[in-house]
Amino acid sequence: MLRLLLSAFVIAALTACSPPGHQQIETDVLIIGAGASGTMASIQAARLGADVVVVEETPWVGGMLTSAGVAAIDGNHRMPSGLWGEFRSHLYAHYGGPDSVETGWVSNTLFEPHVGQRILADMMEEENQIVRLHGYRLTEIIKDSNRVTGAIFTGDEGKKLQVNATITIAADEYGDALAMSGANYRFGWEPRADYGDTFAPEVGNALIQDLTYVAILRDFGPDADMTIPEPEGYDPAAFDCTCKELCSDPDRDVVPCGPESGADLYMFNYGELPNNYFMINWPIHGNDYFVDLLEMSAEEREIALEEAKNFTLQWIYHLQTVGGYKNMGIAEDVFPTEDHFPLIPYIRESRRVVGVQTLRTQDLIDPYSEDAAGRFMAGIAVGDYPLDLHHERKPEGLRVDARTEDKPRIPSYNVPYYTMIPESVNGLIVAEKSISVTHVVNGATRLQPVVMLLGQAAGAAAAMSAAQGVEPRDLDLRALQQTLLDAGTWLMPFADTTPDEPDFQSIQRVGLSGVMQGTGEPVAWANRTWFYPDDPVDRVELAAIDARLAAMGHPHRLGMLDRSNRPVDQSLAQRAVWEWAGRPGAPEGNLSVEQVADLATAWILSQKLAEDWTPATVSQTVTRREMAVLLDRALNPFSLYTN
């Protein structure tokens, strides 16, 4: 409370000379939108010492996590990275551990939206340098030539708020800040020729993913009748086969409706939340809804979203009447709204910036390919969700066959920093769902953990750029990545190492350099990439490391090398690293094999590059973990990357 009062005092002081009804604030970092990205961006920026102002139209923080009611985390269960992991730890503490939040089968982590909002607000409150302002709608982006310098917002009764900032983060749900900034953007499907995405149509279109106006239901007991009045436009055919018992085709493979089916997995416990709440975000002839609203005015959007909300009411009415689930009604104690619906819809696709880099499907399928051009080296966030597009509610003639099982299978992946940097505008970092990815890739990067981690990276980049007086595009990428590693994030999606391990950062840095690579494995809804840290290094891999170092411009190469699958022992690893390091301490002239081995071992041990290695262990096989640590300490290939 003291901090909030102080913030109000600061605002009053800064606006004393402003025109009536027009306030001005100066800050290091302005964040437009307190959604999943904006919330995390504010926390990370403040932890790095920046003064932060967050402006949010609604009274809640958390965006799709909370305000939209999508309180079931999709993906990254094995990678509780950074602030996403911190948020999950708070959920575990509140509910009593992991089992207490594994209540529905859509996710490993489900929670009540109002609980998530309170946790996120508390996390922000712990950072004294965050000023949070609610009830203001973005109306203008301020620019000086080609540089964003802040924004103007309109509040109640037309009050104007101007925030002047060194760096601005666009983190709103629709990409409105992006559009107002003058940066180039796109939405919908790109033509196949633009990015070579074989799943894209030959001719592009503006069809964005369906949104969902989520509802949170409660079971009010077997004798309760919570049936709502029939919503306008209700057509039962729209919901045919939403679940097995309500399907006109008895042969269709559809999930059962409720517990009376005797099945373990059924529609209602798909999104079951703790404490007898049920999230209604049902994709199978459920409450997904298509409306092309990105370029609408605020007034037009409001009308369109009421129609989307009405469609969800139609689905609820269908379940209550045709399905007989009259005991299931809208919970009245979750959201601070008159109709008890979420404050905002679940927006799956917003405007997407044309960035310095664009992440494409082929970059996810094989990040190490020549065509991917090393995008993974700039990674600042990780994800493991598949390419999941929602297009089932398109009108006849516009429908797109985009089911998840029909799209390319991908391993887990990372997102490059430069997808957040506009190609043509300075002073701006783009987060939330507006990063520079193709329509298909947005199907994976739009999920909550990835968007939270994008926000954390955006906050770090903004704070560092503001402190150093550089544009975000010119920020030292490796310094940013090291800052994120120090904050406990994964930057390479290696599922078999964690930040709790002492070698984690070495493996991450060597992975980001590309000198040692992971192995991707597409696995349904939880894709993976393995580093196999405890597997032995063989001579084929040693030769591959040598070639990758050379490709990065490293000046020293190994001599003749037996390229076989024989394991590498400590003696050979020491000699290789010593050779790559430029043979330090070697006298002039030819050296015998024994002299090389002795010099290499002596140098490795004198530099303390491998604590557990001694002259007595030189014949032991080297693991990938040990090799990564040795490369990181001796050669620092992480430093060879340039912006």
CATH number at residue 481: 3.50.50.60
428-430 and 160-170 strand pairing:
parallel
Residue 158 lies in a domain: yes
Same-domain pairing of 515 and 480: no
> In this structure, is residue 343 part of a structural domain?
no
- Do 400 and 426 have their domain in common? yes
Same domain, 272 and 178: no
Render 433-493 in DSSP notation, one character per residue.
T-SSB-HHHHHHHTSHHHHHHHHHHHHHHHHHHHHHT--GGGS-HHHHHHHHHHTT--SS-
Q: Which one of 470, 486, 502 terminates a domain?
A: 486
The domain of 547 spans: 494-643
pLDDT at 18: 62
pLDDT at 216 over 80: yes
Nearest to 53, CA basis, from 35, 32, 74: 32
611-619 contacts, C-beta under 8 A, 24 or more apart: 613/570, 613/574, 617/570, 618/569, 618/570, 618/571, 618/574, 619/569, 619/570, 619/571
d(CA 40, CA 63): 11
**Is residue 353 one of the residues assigned to a domain?**
yes
Domain boundary among 460, 486, 512: 486
C-alpha to C-alpha distances, 497 to 35, 118, 412, 529, 616, nearest whole angstrom: 29, 31, 14, 11, 28
Asked whether residue 546 falls in the same domain as residue 641, the answer is yes
**Torsional sign, CA 566, 568, 571, 575:** positive
- Tell me whether strands 185-186 and 211-212 are parallel, antiparallel or unpaired: unpaired
Same domain membership, residue 245 and residue 382? no
Task: Give the pLDDT band of residue 643 (cuts 50, 70, 90).
Answer: low
* Confidence at 369, pLDDT banded by 50, 70, 90: very high
Q: In the prediction, which pLDDT does 157 show?
A: 86
Q: Are 297 and 365 part of one and the same domain?
A: no
Token pair of 157 as six digits: 């009764």
Locate 41 and state its tokens. 């961006």
**Residue 392 DSSP code:** T
- H/E run at residue 206: none
Domain membership flag for residue 124 = yes
- State the distance between the two ends of the chain, measured CA to CA, in whole angstroms: 43
Distance of CA 447 to CAs 32, 381, 643, Å? 19, 12, 28
Type of residue found at 421: I
User: What percentage of the chain has pLDDT greater than the value 70?
Assistant: 95
Express each pLDDT in 582-631 by its tens digit. Answer: 999 999 888 888 898 899 999 998 999 988 898 889 899 999 999 999 99
Same domain, residue pair 43 and 172: yes
How sure is the predictor about 554, in pLDDT bands with cuts at 50, 70 and 90? confident
Helix 570-580 to helix 624-634 angle (10° resolution) is 30
Tell me phi and psi for residue 265, to 5 degrees.
-115, 120
Which pLDDT score is estimated for 341? 99
Between CA 335 and CA 344, with CA 341 as vertex, the angle to 5 degrees is 90
Residue 2 clears pLDDT 90, i.e. is over it: no
Average pLDDT of the segment spanning 521-532: 95
Q: Is 158 left (phi over 0), alpha (psi -120 to 50) or beta?
A: left
Q: Which of 49-53, 345-349, 400-404, 466-470 has the lowest mean pLDDT?
A: 400-404
Note whether residue 120 is domain-resident.
yes
One-letter identity of residue 66: T
In terms of domains, do 503 and 634 share one?
A: yes
Q: Which pTM was predicted?
A: 0.95
State how far the Cα of 207 lies from the Cα of 399, in Å rounded to an integer.
Answer: 9
In this structure, the answer to whether residues 414 and 482 fall within a common structural domain is: yes
Q: Is residue 8 part of a domain?
A: no
Please name the residues in contact with 582: beta carbons below 8 A apart, sequence gap of 6 or more.
Answer: 555, 556
Angstrom distance (rounded) from CA 549 to CA 219 = 61
Residue 335 within any structural domain of the chain: no
- Total number of residues shown for the chain: 643
Residues 262-290, mean pLDDT to the nearest whole number: 97
Same domain, 574 and 637: yes
Tell me which of 486, 520, 538 is where a domain ends: 486
Residue 12 lies in a domain: no
Whether residues 110 and 251 share a domain: the answer is no
Domain count, the chain: 3
> Does 47 lie in the same domain as 194?
yes
